[in-house]
Chains A and B, each alone.
Chain A
Amino acid sequence: MTHDYSRITYVTKYYDTLQGLRLVPLGIWFLLGAAGRLGWLPGFGSGRLDFTGLTLLGVALLYYLIGQYYNRHYGIVHQHKHRYEKTAGILMVVTLMAAILIDVYWQPAISFFSLTAGGFYTYTYFMAARPYRPYYLVIAALFFVISVLPLLLALPLNHALVGSGGILFYTVLGSSLIVTGILDHLMLAHTLQVTEEEPDHV
């Protein structure tokens, strides 16, 4: 048993977000998209809605199934519901979609999507990830660097990031989801010990 009581509080409070393996399939999906755009995998990165929809459905199913694994293996924690969490989630999705549209149709000198992604990782670090997940700041910094790449390379946005199918961006996004997912899971697994005795929820 860990006697680090602040760690106990942290892991319990953020138990849902520490189930990092749930995001790994989505990270792999982005990496497969990058590979598809390079011509290595037919279908992936093709932009076909039916293929994209089907594969994302598969990702969502895996998200659910891995969640069931966490419930059965590590248990269930219910948090107090805060109204602002749903609002914040919706706001995040809307902001990201707006940023994508700006990048695709406006072609600014810097990538608003990367900037937004970096902002969200930074926000997540200061609101929920510190002090146990410093890698969120590293990922944020990576996205900030990527956002100014078009400016630094003096290339149009669609050549540096979005174009060529957005290979670089898909690769970084997919990799960051996988890395943070695995690290979050390791933190959870390191804190919650699996004993040999099988519990029977008595």
Chain B
Amino acid sequence: MPADLLPRVASGEPRAAEELMDRYGALIWSLARRHSRRSADAEDAVQEIFLALWKNADRFDASRASEPTFITMIARRRLIDLHRHKQRRPPTEGHEADLETLTDLRSGDIEVKAEAKLASRALGTLKPREREVVLLSTYQGMSHSEIANHVDMPLGTVKTYIRRGLMRVREALEQPKQAAEGAT
């Protein structure tokens, strides 16, 4: 398993930044493309995400999350902020996923960490409708009201499903850490 790069980035090692681009550039590009309306917007987003990574590298805590998950979190923060600033939501055209057949994927570039698998497994315990709502929110980047319109569901129900889904994933991610702490 390759060593984490963010601690070296945090220490100011320029070579580590190059390696970070090599290791996670495709992931960040994929996230940006899926969450952006136009290619130009995606490119701007990628630059802003990497800048946020350089600035927040020292916040990475391997005991709380894997490096890919932390980087995805930072990327999502920037993408959500950019979308709110532009006051429009990203379309799904061109990147629309058939949620019926969406399966967890293993990247050819990076290893999908254990917690991504835990997340996928936790979502699998939800009812199909709940899982769909959670994926429309997190994966497709739709707002809660957009989802409510899209699936013809009360907004309150959408919020409840998303909260339930995230809490289930959150609990699934916490369990290995709690088990490790109990063992020490």
Are A and B genuine complex partners? no
